[in-house]
Structure 1
Amino acid sequence: MQPPVTSGDSPRAAVGTATADNRRTARTVLFAARSATALHRLLDVLPVFAGDDRIARRFTLVPGSDFDAEALTAVERAGARTVPWERAGRDRFDLIVAASPKGALGALDGTLALLPHGAGFGKSLPGEGTPGVASGLDPAFLLVDGAPRADRQLLAHPDQLTRLARASAEAATRAVVVGDPTLERLLASAAHRDRYRAALGTGARRLVALVSTWGPESLLARRPTLATELSGLLPHDAYQVALVPHPNERSRLGSFDLAQALAPAREAGLLLPGPRDEWASLLVAADAVVTDHGATALYAAALGRRVLAAYDGGHELIPESPTARLLAAAPRLETAEALPALLSGPVAPGVAAAADAAFARRGGVLAALRRELYALLGLTPVGPPPEPETLPVPTAPHRAPAAFAVRAVRGVTGRAGEAGEAGEGERVAVERHPTWWAGPVRLFAAEWGVAGQRHVQSAGLLYRRRACAERGAGAHRATWTVDGWIDAALRDHPGCATAGVLLSGELALVRARGGRTLALELSPHAADGRLLHTDPAAALAAAHVLLSERPHARGPFTAVIGDLPFPCVLREAGAEERSRTV
């Protein structure tokens, strides 16, 4: 490796050879990203250089992509140094790291290391490069005048090296298998699964993530209403639905327009994670993934998640690629209604095998990357072995629906109690759906202070959470007591049959019109050493059903919420409880 050339030796000046305080910087590494996806791949490489003050890290945006609008947002948010493309083309760099062979990389001067753009090399874009060959393995992009463009091509699996050798023996001479650094982050974060689910408000529900690639054959293009269909169909207390769109789709549509297009599903609780880190945290938290022919599902398969196929075929999927094997092995989701049954079936053994065909060197990827990249820099690594950065806890708040259409059924499976007491076997099963659900409805429930006026006026059950009480910063404020608010709610909303206040996750006060204020105690569901909690507003709906049929009901009953039984008790509320402020 030749040392960097100074400005006196060449028109191209070496970048970063001295800092402002004249301390010499040994090497400058330029991370050249063409899109947000490529940039995110490059950011996962950064731990390789952690702790080494000899390395100056710079980023630039390679022009020519239709999806570069948000490419440098994450870098700028982190405060990293960027180099305008015009400047990057004039300077010399000790090492250039890129995750796509496309674009004007030839305008940059420096040793080039090329990483995969994604997982598995499973897509080929019609009209671009060699038909049927993924761009990351395509000699049309990897060779310049018959010689390899990259000084080192870093692959994730030996099968990729075999495929590359078939496509271009010349390019294969510069390739080496190191594994996938993005998968390393996911695997390193697996122990944080409970924290991610808590941040997402998942609880005991099944989290189903829809993952969509980009382009005309993507899930968003072919089945754009699937997220809304699932959000409306699946009971809110049994399932949580998320959509993970490809960054190119975000760039094409814009985050605002995408959110607006999904507004009904988001009002029903759909999660829409951010493109950097949050999608991966959500994948760790998920129970199942519904996928098209994008590579994200390979990461889910590597994590051991259940995978369902929702790809209708086309010209982009490369036969015999790991993604093609995954889709062939995974059960197919034909309709939204079929999802619960598919989630109850056995996990297809070929799903894990497809992931094994895409990822190698698990657990040692960063060490292998460091070895290769430092060799290109002509430096000896310093410091301890690199560790993958664990994924952050999701910070985007999940949107809990404020109004529901409630389906509820009361049944008695045990001996009825005396003097109006509920029997020990009395059960009320509750399913909560969006207000626009087309199925049978027992009642509408709305959260006061959060739901819109139309839903509040039509609610048979009106409730509020104590945490939603207004608390001004100054001395002048007004508060309600529990009984005072229930009085006002029933007085001001003639259509409301029951009003309640959620004081905590285990206690609510409730009153049916014409009745007394009762305390509703809700216990968690115990299973395998874990205590599973549910939204007490769902238990409040069960109490509404019970009191509407048996106004003097008291004592224990079971609320079946999300297919799980939760022990409940209805009793007379004490004076102290009724006078609490909300």
Structure 2
Amino acid sequence: MAGVVLREGEVRPTRSPERVVLGIAHTVTSTVRLLECLELVRGDPRVEVVFTSADTSELSRGVPAFLEDVGARTVSWERAASTRYDLAVTAASSGPLHEIDAPLLSLPHGMGYNKVRQTTNDKRQTTNDKRQTTNDKRTYGLDADQLMHAGEVVPRVLILSHSEQRDRLADHCPQAVPRTLIAGDPAFDRLTASLPWRAAYRRALGVAPGQNLVVVTSTWGRGSLLDRRPALPAELLRGLPMDEYRVAAILHPNITAHHGEWNVRSWLADARAAGLVVIPRRSGWQAALTAADLVIGDHGSVTLYGACLGHPVLLAGFDDSAIVPGTAMADLGRMAHRLDPTRPLRPQLAEARAFGGLRSRAVENVGRCAAVLRAAMYDLMELPEPETPAFYGPADDPVPEPSPPLTAHFATTSVTGSTVRIERFPVTSDVEDPHFVIDDEERNPALRGLAETLIRRGDGLTADRSPGEVFAAYPGHRRVADVRPGTAVIWERDGSRRVITGSLDPALYPLVLHALPDPPPRVTIVVGERRDVLRVGQPSPRRS
């Protein structure tokens, strides 16, 4: 057992644990997986966990702040390398892990081991974005150069998510095969545990009944979605009716680590203004992915997780040269449709296919990962396991990053008899003959001057003005609608006033008068898959 050694100037601890575990963090992504593993000792007063950062590259940026935010006790690498621990856990293979004096448990930080390990001996050809290597495609995380030091295998236990990975390991580092343990995948177990909570996650993400949630996910580096189609989130929002689709983005933390949060926010600014839901890089992605109706991604693990959940998948980027042939990820890249930038987006979304059959190729031991992992950890610590069962529960409700309110939109209408079909789009959309609607919270004076319909909810810029004063101040306005749940009182520029009631968003009701200037007492509106019969009052003189 490793003891707690006091050094000069250190305060004596409140208590002395029986075992001390070292968590080795590399990047934000691997730290998330590391925490998923170490939560299995939570509640055990016999165990204390300390963390260190391997700090192997610029992609380690953000790790110290992350560990600080979760309240982790941290030590320097030099301190960690000079201290004996009862167990060390890592979710990455980089850095001088052999320096740590502890039995090491190593696990992947994505969905298995799918990526090719590029070395300094690789010869790259960058013409036309093609990359070739002279060596065979070795797997990152399963390569002998990463797993061995001075002729010895470094990890005491190497966690695999599928037995297929053991076969590849035998080709490149046979010495490590006896150290392997097929445990499954912590994240996939949490995803499957989250499925019953899908409706709650959709509510938390603002997905209305009848809306489809499109999750756009990008890994980092060349060939990723954000590399190949950086404007795709904004394109989706411009091309899809906002009442029928909601779009959320899950971005690999390494994107922010390399480019910085300011740049990533800047690149997504237009999309966020059009309604993009951005999932924080540390948490929320599992809930958002569970809630999805469609995943548009690339060769990142989130795309494969989505496919294994049974979601339809489209690819907007995929670096085939970065993926090990014969893996589940390679199969996904071969089978899934790739978005065609020359075709409209909406029909392509309808063509997306599901690939739930990949699950059996990507992960084993589904539902048992926590039990297998915890047993291995306590065996390495030479400590009896707690009697309580080990499991990964559902993800917490997602909390998206703050986004600006959507206070302006275009609307199109089509009429069949007394039925009005309505579609609404962000103002950046290129739609034919749109009707321009703004909310009274809109702060862009140029947009306020151009709008044809003003929606007032009681606390906007003109809340204390009469409709006549509003029409005088904004000559472009044709109608002003004072709305509350289920009701819209609509004032026309000609002085008339109507009351329309129904059950859908009352901001839709003024569009009936745009489509049908002289509507019947009952009008059906169709918005995506939803419909409602509105009761339309007769016009009456405007009240002063």
Tell me the TM-score normalised to structure 1 length: 0.85
Aligned partner of 2:126 in structure 1 is none
Alpha-carbon distance, 1:305 to partner: 1.1
Structure 2: distance between partners of 1:197 and 1:335 = 29
Aligned partner of 1:405 in structure 2 is 410
TM alignment of 1:166-565, pairs within 5 A: 166-203=171-208, 204-335=210-341, 337-345=343-351, 347-348=353-354, 351-396=355-400, 397=402, 399-412=404-417, 426-466=418-458, 468=459, 480=464, 484-504=465-485, 506-524=486-504, 535-537=505-507, 539-547=508-516, 549-550=517-518, 553-565=519-531
Q: Residue type of the partner of 1:380?
A: P
Deviations 1:250-273 (A, max 9, x none): 111222211111111111101111
Aligned partner of 1:20 in structure 2 is 13
Q: Residue type of the partner of 1:42?
A: L
Aligned partner of 1:4 in structure 2 is 2
Structure 1: distance between partners of 2:234 and 2:403 = 16
Aligned partner of 2:125 in structure 1 is none
Q: Secondary structure at the match of 2:432?
A: coil
Aligned partner of 1:417 in structure 2 is none
Q: Residue type of the partner of 2:480?
A: A
Report if the CA contact (8 A) 2:224-2:318 is conserved: no
Report if the CA contact (8 A) 1:498-1:544 is conserved: no
Report if the CA contact (8 A) 1:409-1:430 is conserved: yes
Q: Secondary structure at the match of 1:429?
A: strand
Report if the CA contact (8 A) 1:101-1:136 is conserved: yes
Deviations 1:373-418 (A, max 9, x none): 1000000011411232432212234544211122222231xxxxxx
Q: Secondary structure at the match of 1:86?
A: helix
Aligned with 2:83 (options 87, 91, 95): 91
Alpha-carbon distance, 1:50 to partner: 2.2
Change beyond 3 A, Cα 1:126–1:338 = farther
Change beyond 3 A, Cα 1:536–1:124 = farther
Alpha-carbon distance, 1:213 to partner: 0.9
Kindly indicate whether residue 527 of structure 2 is the aligned counterpart of residue 568 of structure 1: no
Aligned partner of 1:44 in structure 2 is 36
Percent identity for Structure 1 against Structure 2? 31
Structure 2: distance between partners of 1:194 and 1:19 = 49
Report if the CA contact (8 A) 1:117-1:136 is conserved: no
Kindly indicate whether residue 76 of structure 2 is the aligned counterpart of residue 76 of structure 1: no
Structure 2: distance between partners of 1:464 and 1:132 = 61
Report if the CA contact (8 A) 1:120-1:322 is conserved: no
Q: Secondary structure at the match of 1:67?
A: helix
Aligned partner of 1:119 in structure 2 is 111
Q: Secondary structure at the match of 2:16?
A: coil
Q: Secondary structure at the match of 2:353?
A: coil
Report the aligned-residue RMSD.
Answer: 2.6
Aligned partner of 2:59 in structure 1 is 67
Alpha-carbon distance, 1:6 to partner: 7.2
Deviations 1:333-391 (A, max 9, x none): 2138544334434734xx11222211111111101111111000000011411232432
Structure 2: distance between partners of 1:398 and 1:462 = 22
Q: Secondary structure at the match of 1:388?
A: coil
Aligned partner of 1:473 in structure 2 is none
Long gaps (5+) in structure 2: 122-134
Report if the CA contact (8 A) 1:165-1:172 is conserved: yes
Structure 1: distance between partners of 2:342 and 2:284 = 25
Alpha-carbon distance, 1:564 to partner: 3.3
Tell me the TM-score normalised to structure 2 length: 0.90
Long gaps (5+) in structure 1: 413-425, 471-477, 525-534
Change beyond 3 A, Cα 1:346–1:182 = closer
Change beyond 3 A, Cα 1:35–1:312 = closer
Q: Secondary structure at the match of 1:45?
A: helix
Q: Secondary structure at the match of 1:494?
A: coil
Structure 2: distance between partners of 1:160 and 1:74 = 30
Structure 1: distance between partners of 2:540 and 2:384 = 72
Q: Secondary structure at the match of 1:439?
A: coil
Q: Residue type of the partner of 1:234?
A: L
Q: Secondary structure at the match of 1:58?
A: strand
Structure 2: distance between partners of 1:59 and 1:4 = 15
Deviations 1:54-97 (A, max 9, x none): 11011111122221111233332222212222322222211110
Report if the CA contact (8 A) 2:188-2:305 is conserved: yes
Aligned partner of 1:163 in structure 2 is 168
Structure 2: distance between partners of 1:105 and 1:88 = 11
Alpha-carbon distance, 1:176 to partner: 0.7
Report if the CA contact (8 A) 2:323-2:330 is conserved: yes
Q: Residue type of the partner of 2:201?
A: Y
Q: Secondary structure at the match of 1:221?
A: helix
